[in-house]
Amino acid sequence: MVALLVLAFLGSVGSGGGVADTPFVQEWHVAYSLGQEAGCDDVRAIAVDDGGAVWAATGAGAYRLARDETRWQALMNEADAGPTYDVVVDRAGAAWLGAWNGVYRSTPGGFERVKGIDCPIAALCAIGNEVVGLGDGGLWRVTQDQSVFEKLPYSRHFRATLPDGRGGLWIATGMGLYHHSDAGHRLYQSQSDVAGPDVRGLANACDGSLWAGSFGGVTVYEQGRRGRSFTPAEGLPSIDVRCVAPGPEGTMWVGTDVGVARYDGRTWSLRHSKRWLAGDDVRDIAFDAEGTAWVATGAGVSAIRRRRMTLAQKADHYLDVCLARHVRAPGLVEKCRLEVPGDTSTWKPRDDDNDGQYTAMYLAMESFRYAATKDPQAKANANKAFEALRFLQTVTKTPGFVARTVIPSSWTSMADPNRKISDRQWAEMAVGNPREKRVEVRWHPSRDGKWLWKGDTSSDEITGHMYGYLFYYDLVADEAERRHVAAHVSKIVDYIIEGGYVLKGVDGTHTKWAVWAPEKLNHDPDWAPERGINSVEILSYLKLAYHMSGRQRYQDEYLQLLHEHGYADNVKKAKTTHPAIRTHIDDELLALAYPCLLIHEDDPELRRLYRAGLDHWYAAAKADQSPFFDFTYAACAGLTPKSKIAVASLRDASLDLVRWTVDNRRRADVRIVRTPEWEHIQVDRMLPPSERGVLRWDENPWRAVQGDGGRTESDGVWWLLPYWMGRYYGYIQAPQ
């Protein structure tokens, strides 16, 4: 019956009007080290032959990766190995190498040196049965049988060369772009000719135009005439262009000092950080027949692979990751740590202050999944998560206190261990924050000795718990389970009420953050930033307890806070937007607290009150382009969400959940600002998920630097929760 009421309120579930889950191109990254020898990961150029083998020119010689293999083969003997500069594949499938001491051609056993050339060859290109090499101040034309040299009156700083399709050559140098033909040459060197005279890369686009990448940007030529240019003003992330290459579906890929930029004819995107590249210093790009981009960097080779998948398949992938590495005893769900950054085979469980909140969000996710699919495994997972959350209360052996988290007593390392705080240290803490609490014993043993549970639980944790219980009760639990949930929620809410609207710890005083009392929120100036949000939180707890138990006590307390203690005024603008005290933690907490009030309040006046507060919150939160915020707002307001934008965000998110550091400060296509929160250095426009770190919704997506160096992996619930919300509410269709 409860679930039917929820459906009636939302009105859009199963309407069939959501975004179709059609297949899209999903990219993912595989990084390769070419070996342990010095210089072997200093990759300068790369090429792919028709058989799918990849050839690399490095600071230590030439390497080959056979199709479907993972180990690279060194191809030069000790006498020949050394700096190499370019590699190309001719139409017969042979690989040619420009090296420190000449030109080499591939053989079944490796590379053999071409006779007659004894100088560094910096650039190569293949024209029919001939290979052209640039070095020693001139041009070498090489076939299997002979090599012919032509001295050139050009800059000797050769960078790249490309056939013009009419028997001539484009030659990129450090002092300009040359068009070379039998009739003579033309130099593009001035500011009106080229974005910058140090030209590093050349490529033909699918429309036949020539793209020349230089220090200064990209210049596009049509029939030898300069057309448009790309600089940061046009969206190019860096002026330091090292290479250009035509990619799949008409895209152009540009290698820069900050990663690989791609242009689709309308907009630019960027692949950078270790999520996408072995190193951001990109030197060359080549593509195989399947559309995989092979990227040469100063730290190895990266393959950016492609596959077609649906959102449902992506959800399966994330859930597999979550269940494999992110559910730890007694059923808590959160990040895991990686002993070797980025290497998920080295994962270990870890504790976090927000284990309870994020397990509860996992519980809500599985509740939505069960409601949308009736998958019995989703129900089983939800049941397990609920019992884990309930254990966080029962393990404390208190009337209603909830632990932040628990760990097995055998663990010898935990976050924020017990510590002694000297009087001098305490004085520093208290002066720095008058709301600080002196907590020396954070971890407490369970009575059976099997667990250590953590105290000083925050309001965030309780809000997360209540959110999970709401949807578990409404969408999953049977009648017996609902009685169980109702009793548990009542126990916690009773404890808060009897404590004077605070969460009292084992020392008899409230924890640092868990305060909802009128005298604190309304009359203590140090609690002013939390006045609105904590008012919404406690009202939602009371409404949930009343909804589940039917006990009039909760409704009476609820109305008393609203009308006698001014909480009705507090919730109108609960979201704090002043940049000095604004946080994204509040955005997430309001997204967790509002649903119960708007789903289960039937008084029209109060519904209007909460809707006004919801609108005020979303006016600030919508710029984040969060599918979780968008779908929460739409569901609570009874409106149609911007589903296409939300789905595009879900599609763009990386399959890799490792929290690599992503630093957008070096990009020239964004400005560094101090908004929307003064606390952080941020970018001035919202970047797509693939260009940001892996974030939860309590983190600031505008931050210029995100991630932790690949030392942890996300559980993926931040993605799975809005996806299954969207499926349940009908904003996203099930795949056909």
Q: Please report which helix (H) or strand (E) contains residue 613, including its range.
A: helix 604-621
Q: What is the mean pLDDT of the chain?
A: 95
CA distance 206 to 223: 14
- Give the model confidence (pLDDT) of 439-453 as tens digits: 999 999 999 999 999
What percent of the chain has pLDDT above 90?
Answer: 96
Span 140-161, average pLDDT = 94
Residue 3 has pLDDT above 70, yes or no: no
- 204: tokens are 């033909």
- Give me the pLDDT at residue 265, please: 96
Q: Answer positive or negative: Cα dihedral of 321, 323, 329, 333.
A: positive
Report whether pLDDT(557) > 80: yes
pLDDT tens-digit readout, 377-429: 999 999 999 999 999 999 999 999 999 999 999 999 999 999 999 999 999 99
Question: Does the structure show a pLDDT above 80 at 16?
Answer: no
Q: What is the pLDDT of residue 128?
A: 83
Long-range contacts of 189-193 (CB under 8 A, 24+ apart): 192/226, 193/219, 193/226
Residues 6+ apart with CB under 8 A from 287: 48, 245, 246, 247, 248, 293, 294
- The helix (run of H) or strand (run of E) holding residue 358 is helix 355-373
Helix (H, G, I), strand (E, B) or coil at 670: coil
| Cβ contacts of 277 within 8 Å, gap of 6 or more | 29, 31, 259, 260, 271, 295, 297, 302
pLDDT score recorded for residue 384: 98
Q: Is the pLDDT of residue 550 over 70?
A: yes
Structure token pair of residue 317:
């992938």
Give the pLDDT confidence score for residue 108 in this predicted structure.
Answer: 87
Provide the phi-psi class of 680: left if phi over 0, else alpha when psi is between -120 and 50, else beta: beta
The region that residue 235 occupies, defined by phi over 0 for left and psi between -120 and 50 for alpha, beta otherwise, is left
Per-residue pLDDT, averaged over 307-324, amounts to 98
- Render the burial of 384-408: b for 16+ CB within 10 Å, e for the rest: bbbebbbbbbebbebebbbbbbbbe
Q: Are 131 and 142 in contact (CB under 8 A)?
A: yes
716-734 confidence digits (pLDDT tens): 999 999 999 999 999 999 9
**Integer-rounded Cα radius of gyration of the chain:** 31
Q: Where are the alpha helices (DSSP H) in 189-278?
A: none
**E-assigned strand segments in 182-333:** 184-188, 199-204, 210-214, 217-222, 225-230, 241-246, 252-256, 259-263, 268-271, 282-287, 293-297, 300-309, 327-328, 332-333
Sheet of 176-181: strands edge to edge?
Answer: 158-163, 169-173, 176-181, 184-188
Strand positions, DSSP E, 310-450: 327-328, 332-333, 336-338, 347-349, 406-408, 443-445
Tell me the sheet residues that pair with 464. none
Phi, psi torsion values for 572, nearest 5 degrees: -60, -40
Distance separating alpha carbons of residues 623 and 367, to the nearest angstrom = 28
Tokens, residue 271: 């692949």
Cis previous bond, 376, omega within 30: no
- Exposed / middle / buried, residue 189 (Cβ in 10 Å: 0-12, 13-18, 19+): middle
Under the banding of pLDDT at 50, 70 and 90, the label for residue 14 is very low
622-679 pLDDT, tens digit each = 999 999 999 999 999 999 998 999 999 999 999 999 999 999 999 999 999 999 999 9
The C-alpha atoms of residue 327 and residue 385 are separated, in whole angstroms, by: 9
Q: How confident is the model at residue 243 (pLDDT cuts 50, 70, 90)?
A: very high
Q: Could you tell me how far CA 460 lies from the centroid of its own chain?
A: 23
* pLDDT, average across residues 254-277: 98
**Stronger pLDDT, 109 or 174, i.e. the higher one:** 174
The C-alpha angle with vertex 258 and arms to 644 and 672, in degrees rounded to 5, equals 70
Cα(420)–Cα(413) distance, rounded to whole angstroms? 17
pLDDT of 4 over the 70 cut: no
Q: In terms of residues, how long is the chain?
A: 736
Quote the CA–CA distance of 203 and 209 in Å, as a whole number: 8
Across 322-339, average pLDDT: 98
The H or E element spanning position 514 is strand 510-515
Average pLDDT over residues 462-471: 98
Containing 724, the helix (H) or strand (E) segment is helix 717-729
Q: What are the CA-CA distances from residue 261 to residues 167, 319, 456 (Å)?
A: 31, 30, 46
d(CA 236, CA 255): 11
Residue 10: its pLDDT value, please? Answer: 40
402's tokens: 């909830």
pLDDT score for 8: 36
Per-residue burial over 586-616, b = 16 or more CB atoms within 10 Å of its CB, e = otherwise: bbbbbbbbbbbbbbbbeeeebeebbbebbeb
Local confidence band at 5 (pLDDT 50, 70, 90 cut-offs): very low
State the pLDDT confidence band at 587, using cuts at 50, 70 and 90.
Answer: very high
Average pLDDT on 541-558 reads 98
pLDDT in tens, 298-309: 999 999 999 999
Cα of 188 vs its chain's centroid, Å: 41
Longest dimension (CA), the chain: 97
How distant, in Å, are the alpha carbons of 6, 168, 261, 496, 599 from that of 538? 21, 76, 47, 9, 16
Residue pair 708/694 in contact by the 8 Å Cβ criterion? no
Percentage, residues of the chain above pLDDT 70: 98
Q: DSSP state, 278?
A: S
Tell me how crowded residue 34 is: count the other CB atoms within 10 A of its CB: 24
Residue 434 in this model has a pLDDT that exceeds 50? yes
Query: Could you tell me which residues come within 8 angstroms of residue 720 by beta carbon, excluding any fewer than 6 positions away?
Result: 315, 318, 319, 322, 362, 365, 369
Confidence of residue 17 (pLDDT cuts 50, 70, 90): confident
pLDDT at 6 over 90: no
Strands 451-454 and 443-445: antiparallel
